């Protein structure tokens, strides 16, 4: 039994704590494309799952619940678009037509969209689990009736060694980062390589500082941008948790 809680993240935790008999997978589905790609992949690799309950609150603008229901009823067209979905971009790019058809044949999708009561959903899970036990109590089920599903996949790159940090010299200059804990601000001094102070940038979050620096072209090397993002995040965490910030050498 699989349960999607759509945008209701807390509902996922509550269902796990209730642990109804028959529950195998539970998780959120916040998008009508990548989120559904993952559901299809996870379910067809576990042929014992025969039901998918769609519950919780619809994500605003994405309609992933209605898209799951449409997928079950109509499938996808030749461009990967879920037929009949009201979502903005219901295009599945990471599953094949064949995988979608296996999903549609394997599971019955139960519409509980809008229900966020873990007790009600748990009762439905257990009722369907009992129904499945009766339906699939047969000797034929002990043997596979069709060849194993061949799942499309992309390469996985496994990093085994810590890469040596190499930051290329940036013609745009370098930065000195100073957290101002008492003001809850991060002060960033931008210097030319002759040590001339070019400007001082000040902000309350690592994200806004980073975006300002990138948008203004004050970083021109990718490795320097990555280093800067890491250091700004570390400086923000030092303010939040009270540890001493020491800027790494680039």
Spatial distance between the Cα atoms of 3 and 20, rounded to a whole number of angstroms: 11
Q: What are the domain boundaries of the chain?
A: 2-142, 174-241
How many Å separate Cα 198 from the centre of its chain?
Answer: 39
Average pLDDT over residues 205-231: 96
| DSSP-assigned beta bridge partners for residue 202 | 187
Residue with more model confidence, 91 or 154? 91
- Please answer whether residues 190 and 197 qualify as being in contact, where contact means their C-beta atoms are separated by less than 8 angstroms: yes
Tens digits of residue pLDDT in 145-185:
455 555 566 677 777 776 665 678 899 999 999 999 999 99
SS3 sequence of 21-88: CCCCEEECCCCCCHHHHHHHHHHHCCCCCCEEEEEEECCCCCCHHHHHHHHHHHCECCCCEECCCCCC
Between the ranges 69-73, 145-149, 241-245, where is the mean pLDDT highest? Answer: 69-73
- The whole-chain average pLDDT of the chain stands at 90
Q: Please report the pLDDT score of residue 194 as a whole number.
A: 84
Is residue 189 predicted with pLDDT exceeding 60? yes
Hey, which bits of the chain come out as E strands?
A: 2-6, 25-27, 51-57, 108-113, 174-180, 185-191, 197-203
**Residue 132 pLDDT level (bands cut at 50, 70, 90):** confident
Q: Please report the pLDDT score of residue 139 as a whole number.
A: 44
Q: Please report the pLDDT score of residue 76 as a whole number.
A: 98
Is residue 136 predicted with pLDDT exceeding 70? no
Q: Please report the pLDDT score of residue 153 as a whole number.
A: 64
**CA 45-49-55 angle, 5° bins:** 110
Is residue 214 predicted with pLDDT exceeding 90? yes
Q: What separation in angstroms does the CA of 245 have from each of 93, 121, 229, 235?
A: 43, 47, 14, 6
Average pLDDT over residues 49-73: 96
Give pairs for 57-61: CB < 8 Å, separation 24+. 57/6, 57/7, 57/8, 57/114, 57/116, 58/6, 58/7, 58/113, 58/114, 59/6, 59/7, 59/29, 59/30, 59/31, 60/7, 61/88
Average pLDDT over residues 91-110: 95
Spatial distance between the Cα atoms of 218 and 175, rounded to a whole number of angstroms: 10
Q: Please report the pLDDT score of residue 64 as a whole number.
A: 97
């Amino acid at each position: 039994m699989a349960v999607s809680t759509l945008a209701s993240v807390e509902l996922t935790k509550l269902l796990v704590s209730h642990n109804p008999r028959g529950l195998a997978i539970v998780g959120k589905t916040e998008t009508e494309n990548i989120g559904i790609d993952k559901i299809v992949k996870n379910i067809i690799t576990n042929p014992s799952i025969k039901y998918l309950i769609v519950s919780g609150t619809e994500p605003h603008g994405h309609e992933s619940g209605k898209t799951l229901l449409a997928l079950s009823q109509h499938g996808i067209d030749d461009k990967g678009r879920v037929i009949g979905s009201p979502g903005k971009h219901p295009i599945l790019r990471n599953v094949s037509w064949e995988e979608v058809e296996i999903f549609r044949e394997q599971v019955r999708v139960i519409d509980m969209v809008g229900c966020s009561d873990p007790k009600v959903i748990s009762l439905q899970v257990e009722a369907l689990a009992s129904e499945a036990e009766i339906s699939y109590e047969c000797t034929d089920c002990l043997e596979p009736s069709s060849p194993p599903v061949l799942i499309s996949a992309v390469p996985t790159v496994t990093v085994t060694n810590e890469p040596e940090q190499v930051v290329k010299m940036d013609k745009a200059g370098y930065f000195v980062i100073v957290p101002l804990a008492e003001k809850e601000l991060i002060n960033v001094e931008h210097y030319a390589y002759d040590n001339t102070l070019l400007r001082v940038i000040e902000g309350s979050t690592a994200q806004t500082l980073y975006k300002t620096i990138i948008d203004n072209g004050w970083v021109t090397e990718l490795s320097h941008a990555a280093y800067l993002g890491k250091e700004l995040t570390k400086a923000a965490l030092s303010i939040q948790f009270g540890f001493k910030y020491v800027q790494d050498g680039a």
